[in-house]
Amino acid sequence: MAAAQGEPGPGPGLVAFKWLSYEDSQPGLKRVSVKSPSLLARVPVGDRHAIEGSLTADSVSGASPRYHTAISGASRMSDTRHAGDVKLTRYDERRTLSLALAGSDENDFKSRAVSVQGSWSSDDNNRSWSLGLGVTRDRISSTDNPQLDEPRRTLELALGLTQALSRLDLVQIGLTLADGKGWYSDPYKALDARPSARRQSIATLRWNHHLEAAELTLRSSYRFYRDSFGVRSHTFTIEPVWQATASWTITPLLRLYTQTAASFYYDPVYSFLGAPLPPGYLEAPPRHLSPDQRLSAFGAVTLGLRVGWQANEHWSTDIAFETYEQRGRWHVGGVGSPGLAPFSARFVQWGVARRF
């Protein structure tokens, strides 16, 4: 949203470090744990260019469900992901143009992406438009099946409009369209066969309103998502940023989420065969099906708090805590998917940044 301010150049340099700790669980069971350090650097090059890059290493361990929310002793896993990206941006008086490359590698998944993005502002710098294009190519494999080596390609288009309604109000509208073809099935889940194409649409609306008397900026957003799998979701987020002192900021977070189930998701129906099979599976197995809880109908609530400290003009640090709770019965607009264990997660982030 800073694009509407019409920055004349690349701005200061920046080096930032961020540490993320994540854990999720079901009742009586700790599932997945992630430790993720990342490093970001941004360096101005002359008056018109800047180079930005980041490196991330995720260490993942724990247990993931074989189907629905059921964990077996054989589902233990451990993996490390290394990812990085680099972006070159040119700044003109009221325009920017960026070219970015990104890559990610882990034992059973490799991804490469290239994108280009441009923005331009009105003469009074109160309005700006943005346009982005991206291509991602993935390779999916499996430690359980050495023969699996499947591609996936995604084309993405992003459009945005940012408007300063007043000196206290900033509004942004965004639209993202993605078209993917290739492998989408989960190689680690039993009875998981998904379509080989996925079209996604995402619409976002953001509004920042500043309350001068309270030294408070109310940041709110709404996001609508739909895809060809049949998933429809709504996300509402509110973050009041309170400038407690000249150097301290406190930001609570409330996020509400609800989604419908994918058209080929099936609820758990356990039988003498062991695995929960969809009705009629033995007589006529469906072409597409999935027991992945992430494709079920559910609702979720996230609560968080971020505290930031600007030590001086060069140094800043922040720490954030979030807790996430997901239930089938919290689905808005109808009964959610039954028979699933409650899902909980917590996030802790700490970061430090140096501007130069």
Q: Is residue 71 part of a domain?
A: no
Q: Taking a C-beta distance cutoff of 8 angstroms, is the pair 101, 113 a contact? A: yes
Per-residue pLDDT, 277: 84
Secondary structure of residue 231 in the 3-state scheme: coil
Per-residue pLDDT, 74: 55
Q: Is residue 46 part of a domain?
A: no
Give pTM, 2 decimals.
Answer: 0.93
Q: Which tokens sit at 298?
A: 């559910």
Query: What is the β-pairing status of strands 109-121 and 29-45?
Result: unpaired
- CA 286/CA 202 separation, integer angstroms: 29
Average pLDDT, the chain: 93
Q: Is residue 196 part of a domain?
A: yes
Q: Is residue 70 part of a domain?
A: no
Mean pLDDT of 230-249: 97
Q: Is residue 14 part of a domain?
A: no
Q: Is residue 264 part of a domain?
A: yes
Q: Is residue 41 part of a domain?
A: no
Domain extent for 313: 89-355
Q: Is residue 75 part of a domain?
A: no
Q: Domain count of the chain? A: 1
Closest CA to 233 of 256, 205, 263, 211: 256
Q: What is the CATH number of the domain that holds 347?
A: 2.40.160.40
Q: Residue 92 pLDDT more than 50?
A: yes
